Structure 1
Amino acid sequence: MLRLTWVQPEDLIGHELHQATQDGREPSAVKARWKAAGGKEAPLRAGASPEPASRYLRQLAEDLLDELADLPSRLADSEPTSLAKIKASCPAWPTQPAGTRATGPTQPAGSGPAGPTQPAGTRATGPTQPAGSGPAGPTQPAGTRATGPAQPAGSGPAGPTQPAGTRATGPAQPAGSRAAGAAPDPKKGGGTPQALASDPTPAATPTQARLEAAWLGRAVGCLLGKPVEKLPLQAIRALAQSTGNWPLNTYFTARGVPTQLLTQHPWNRRSASTSLAENIDGMPEDDDLNYPLLNLLLLQRHGKTFTTTDVATLWLDELPAGRTFTAERIAYRNLLTGLEPPRTARHRNPFREWIGALIRADVHGWTNPGDPAAAAEQAHRDATLTHTANGVYAAMFTAATIAQAATGTADIHTALRTGLTVIPPASRLAKALTHAIQLARTHDDFDTVVDELHATHAPTHHWVHAIPNTALIAAALTHADGDFTGSICRAVSGGWDTDSNGATAGSIAALLAGSPAALPDHWTTPLKNRLATTIGDFNGTGFDTLAHLTHTLTHLEAPRP
């Protein structure tokens, strides 16, 4: 019997009831009707319940999903999805660097094509350069931790820099231990000076080497998290501890894990054969890499003035439906039934504030160095195909953070503060990020940070929801001072959506590192400069080639007739 995940109405209704409670609606009457009819709770970790519902329950679930969608939300004013309203609610929205021009479409997203496009399936090519070619820009040394509550971005000049691409001489910091050179105790004064939103970072194209590091970092972080995706926090800790890999500092392995422990907590069944240390042979396919590849195609075909409709068309042309999950699968289904953006994000889509839009944000940041506003606006047009409110904010925050990091002149704390300037300060995500960053600055032991985050979010949020996962990413990067190994290991060791969190933390930390040479060999060598995918003709492509293609898009304008 086929039980297609993430689309069955009887499974969606339970998730929508949780979503309604979180976003300020009052679903108790609808919940009572569903329970009285014999309806069940949403599956805790799987995408579908094992048995189909009766025809009556399925029809009731569809009707109740529509009723829930019509309920008013008390958070509607503080958590808008419209870009204009988001910008109006952000007092420190970053200004664009001098000499740049707005990249958004002149029509509302989804109102029509953005001019002629290339035929589906084509993509720009060109000579590639050797891995690591070109001088890397300067980066700030790890260990310059800021303290105190998060402030808006742009806070003055960064400290002394060292050449990007230089490898740290000391051992990598394992997850859980505070990086050397941490800032003063926030309880004893000090802290981060307040930023000025009117001081944008001058636009500077990141070197191809820096972009290659970012692609590699995204892949490594994803690969680290793949075997433990969906596992509870205590299982992740127990599996790593059983092989002496705690605090986490390298890929997971099954060698030495007691049989009883593996029986109780088996590896992710889809990933173990390609992502445990003894099995890695190149980068296996994962949606955390597929979506950045799709966004390369998006910018090649439409430039930075793409619309949400362009994103939808590209997906139908290039993205196999079976490679979509949660909000993306719902939106894909909605497109096939004739709905148009942005309704595709709202119609019977209880996953619209989950992590799917965040994992699509990197390319928007990589290609807008020093222009976090443009990066956030691009991420918004992409995200609103599938997400609303905090699901969209997570993508905007990530894109803006990456855009700031891509200049090579900002440390991780400045980059994260920049990310906070593009999301509504009264939103649940902004509050969760501020809390997470403060926890990371306060506690020396990262396990304590993780335990507090889980105590705060786990009782009310699904393990794929954007709010707890984005908060964990920010905490990991903050606690590790942007160190690559420290950041990815903290992000993955914190649980929840481990491969996505590792991927985003790895992308940002590697971007700050500046070049592939700055990433420890034990992480990158097993990837063999090769990526597997079903997107376009990218299967088998090297990360140096992906960096070259990304580099050509950093100042790309829209195609003209």
Structure 2
Amino acid sequence: MLRLTWVQPEDLIGHELRQAVLDGREPSAVAARWRAAGGPDAPLTAGASARPASRYLRLLATDLLDELSELPSALTDDEPTGLAAVRALCPDWPEPPAHRPAPPDTARLEAAWLGRAVGCLLGKPVEKLPLDGIRSLARAAGNWPLTTYFTARGVPADLLARHPWNRRSAATSLAENIDGMPEDDDLNYPLLGLLVLQRHGRSFTTTDVARVWLDELPAGRTFTAERIAYRNLLAGLEPPLTARHHNPFREWIGALIRADVHGWTNPGDPAAAAAAAHRDATLTHTANGVYAAMFTAAVIAAAAGGGRDVHSCLRTGLTVVPPRSRLARAVTHAVRLAREHGDFATVVDLLHDRYAATHHWVHAVPNTALIAAALTHADGDFAGSVCRAVSGGWDTDSNGATAGSVAALLAGSPDALPERWTAPLKNRLATSVGDFHGTGFDTLARLTRLEASRP
């Protein structure tokens, strides 16, 4: 029996109830009706519950999703989604450069693509695992604190039974199995971003992003907010409604993982990078989900423009985020923790204490905070950044990918990245996007530089 994930109303309602609490709505009456009818909680890790709900529960869930969407939010003024409103709240919004900076050289962009792939690959086997499981598996293999890819060698069978590797990733992402970069949405989306720029140029619209997705992105390769938006497009909805309609994942991490290409192609212009990320993100996300993408794009634009200090780049990222938003507060808090504690495990524990009980493990707020903490604590060092980001749990492959992209860009060239990380990738990646399957990271760097050079 096919249980299509991330779209069933009876599974979405539990996530929407949690999201309502986070974004300042009062959902208790709706929650009581759902529970009184026997409605289940949202699945913790899977995209769909094991068994379909009754027709009555499914119809009720659909009605309640509509009702929740009408509830007023106490955070509306501090957390708008429109770009003009976001800019109006940001007192330090960056000024455009007097002269357009030169694009990053190909070596720096190749390092960034490689860094993104390495961080993603490191995190893939332990995605969805709890923090204690990640630490136990690494310790059992003599790899704690993390210094290299995860391995099953030497790990006791009973530990693997308690904390099994990610089912889809172990065959391609454990150290003993790596043979090039396997397919992952954290690499698919930068490829799609590259296609958007190739076909529609720097002035692309959110609708252009949607067209490229429908042409090039298989629906089965989408998850959470992206799958909901894809479904909404096929149902005839247009952006930005695609991000809002029955989409409880609109503040999750999906837009953040699409942001790198906008930073790479707007070097030294964090405002332009953030605006491009906003146009991309609003197909699928709102508020803090969009801010996470804008923050990441601005950080990367600062690094791509020649920045060498990760702390300055992170500060630049915060200039495009409304300062009273949950994302700005989370990043600021995480950076402060990273500066105060020498042991990164303490930083991670404090972040989990603050967010784990209230936020899904894919939510953008805690994950962006963890990325910022990892980069800060490692002082932008490549290996230190990706290992810290992945060791912190939550969305391990996405966090590793973004931290890797930033830190590798700061490192400046593929030669600056340790060979133990890059050699297993064999300069090729697998993907179902466009004609990119088997493409090398050197080729992707050249294509990215070409788009960064266009007027």
Please tell me the TM-score bracket, short chain as reference.
over 0.9
- The count of aligned residue pairs is 455
Counterpart residue number, 2:310? 412
Q: Which residue of 138, 144, 151 corresponds with 1:240?
A: 138
Cα distance in structure 1, aligned partners of 2:289 and 2:270: 18
Counterpart residue number, 1:306? 204
Kindly indicate whether residue 436 of structure 2 is the aligned counterpart of residue 535 of structure 1.
no
Q: Which residue of 231, 246, 268 corresponds with 2:166?
A: 268
1:3-42 equivalences under 5 Å are 3-42=3-42
Counterpart residue number, 2:224? 326
RMSD, matched Cα: 0.5
After superposition, what is the alpha-carbon deviation per residue over 1:326-361, rounded to whole angstroms, capped at 9, x for unaligned? 000000000000000000000000000000000000
Other structure's SS at 1:251 match: coil
Give the CA deviation at 1:484. Answer: 0.3
Counterpart residue number, 2:299? 401
Cα distance in structure 2, aligned partners of 1:219 and 1:555: 23
Other structure's SS at 2:202 match: helix
Give the CA deviation at 1:407. Answer: 1.9
CA contact (8 A) 1:368 1:555 kept: no
Cα distance in structure 2, aligned partners of 1:328 and 1:409: 32
Counterpart residue number, 2:183? 285
Cα distance in structure 2, aligned partners of 1:346 and 1:441: 37
Counterpart residue number, 1:519? 417
Counterpart residue number, 2:58? 58
Cα distance in structure 2, aligned partners of 1:83 and 1:275: 38
Kindly indicate whether residue 103 of structure 2 is the aligned counterpart of residue 79 of structure 1.
no
Counterpart residue number, 2:398? 500
Kindly indicate whether residue 338 of structure 2 is the aligned counterpart of residue 440 of structure 1.
yes
In structure 2, give the amino acid aligned to 1:458.
A
Cα distance in structure 2, aligned partners of 1:41 and 1:545: 46
Cα distance in structure 1, aligned partners of 2:103 and 2:192: 21
Cα distance in structure 2, aligned partners of 1:274 and 1:384: 32
Cα distance in structure 1, aligned partners of 2:389 and 2:15: 25
Kindly indicate whether residue 92 of structure 2 is the aligned counterpart of residue 92 of structure 1.
yes
CA contact (8 A) 1:531 1:542 kept: yes
Counterpart residue number, 1:108? none
Scaled by the length of structure 2, what TM-score is found?
1.00
Counterpart residue number, 1:486? 384
Kindly indicate whether residue 254 of structure 2 is the aligned counterpart of residue 350 of structure 1.
no
Comparing 322-331 and 408-417, the one that deviates more: 408-417
Counterpart residue number, 2:278? 380
Give the CA deviation at 1:99. Answer: 3.0
Identical residues among aligned pairs (%) = 79
After superposition, what is the alpha-carbon deviation per residue over 1:432-483, rounded to whole angstroms, capped at 9, x for unaligned? 0000000000000000000000000001000000000000000000000000
Cα distance in structure 2, aligned partners of 1:366 and 1:206: 8
Other structure's SS at 1:13 match: helix
In structure 2, give the amino acid aligned to 1:473.
I
Give the CA deviation at 1:17. Answer: 0.1
Give the CA deviation at 1:74. Answer: 0.4
Other structure's SS at 2:251 match: coil
Other structure's SS at 1:533 match: coil
1:207-246 equivalences under 5 Å are 207-246=105-144
Cα distance in structure 2, aligned partners of 1:552 and 1:75: 41
CA contact (8 A) 2:307 2:313 kept: no
Counterpart residue number, 2:44? 44
Other structure's SS at 2:451 match: coil
Give the CA deviation at 1:205. Answer: 1.6
After superposition, what is the alpha-carbon deviation per residue over 1:111-154, rounded to whole angstroms, capped at 9, x for unaligned? xxxxxxxxxxxxxxxxxxxxxxxxxxxxxxxxxxxxxxxxxxxx
Other structure's SS at 1:554 match: helix
CA contact (8 A) 2:81 2:286 kept: yes
CA contact (8 A) 2:150 2:175 kept: yes
Other structure's SS at 2:24 match: coil
Give the CA deviation at 1:499. Answer: 0.3
Counterpart residue number, 1:149? none
Kindly indicate whether residue 215 of structure 2 is the aligned counterpart of residue 317 of structure 1.
yes
Query: Considering only CA atoms, is the larger Rg found in Structure 1 or Structure 2?
Result: 1
Cα distance in structure 2, aligned partners of 1:257 and 1:371: 47
CA contact (8 A) 2:338 2:377 kept: yes
After superposition, what is the alpha-carbon deviation per residue over 1:95-120, rounded to whole angstroms, capped at 9, x for unaligned? 000134xxxxxxxxxxxxxxxxxxxx
Give the CA deviation at 1:27. Answer: 0.2
CA contact (8 A) 2:269 2:305 kept: no
Q: Which runs of 5+ in 1 are unaligned?
A: 101-202
Cα distance in structure 1, aligned partners of 2:103 and 2:177: 37
Cα distance in structure 2, aligned partners of 1:498 and 1:277: 16
Give the CA deviation at 1:273. Answer: 0.2
Kindly indicate whether residue 349 of structure 2 is the aligned counterpart of residue 468 of structure 1.
no
Cα distance in structure 2, aligned partners of 1:408 and 1:526: 28
Counterpart residue number, 1:146? none
CA contact (8 A) 1:408 1:514 kept: no
Counterpart residue number, 2:103? 205
Cα distance in structure 2, aligned partners of 1:511 and 1:410: 9
Other structure's SS at 2:142 match: coil
Counterpart residue number, 1:459? 357
Give the CA deviation at 1:13. Answer: 0.1
CA contact (8 A) 1:212 1:515 kept: yes
Instruction: Show structure 1 runs of 4+ deviating over 4 A.
Output: none
CA contact (8 A) 2:232 2:242 kept: yes
Richer in helix (by share): 2
Cα distance in structure 2, aligned partners of 1:369 and 1:341: 27
Cα distance in structure 2, aligned partners of 1:315 and 1:38: 37
Counterpart residue number, 1:556? 454
Other structure's SS at 1:305 match: coil
Cα distance in structure 1, aligned partners of 2:278 and 2:453: 19
Cα distance in structure 1, aligned partners of 2:210 and 2:261: 17
In structure 2, give the amino acid aligned to 1:18.
R
CA contact (8 A) 1:530 1:542 kept: yes
CA contact (8 A) 1:398 1:419 kept: yes
Cα distance in structure 1, aligned partners of 2:159 and 2:223: 29
Give the CA deviation at 1:204. Answer: 3.2
Cα distance in structure 2, aligned partners of 1:339 and 1:508: 35
Give the CA deviation at 1:408. Answer: 2.3
Cα distance in structure 1, aligned partners of 2:186 and 2:211: 20
Cα distance in structure 2, aligned partners of 1:350 and 1:398: 22
CA contact (8 A) 1:80 1:389 kept: yes
Give the CA deviation at 1:556. Answer: 1.8
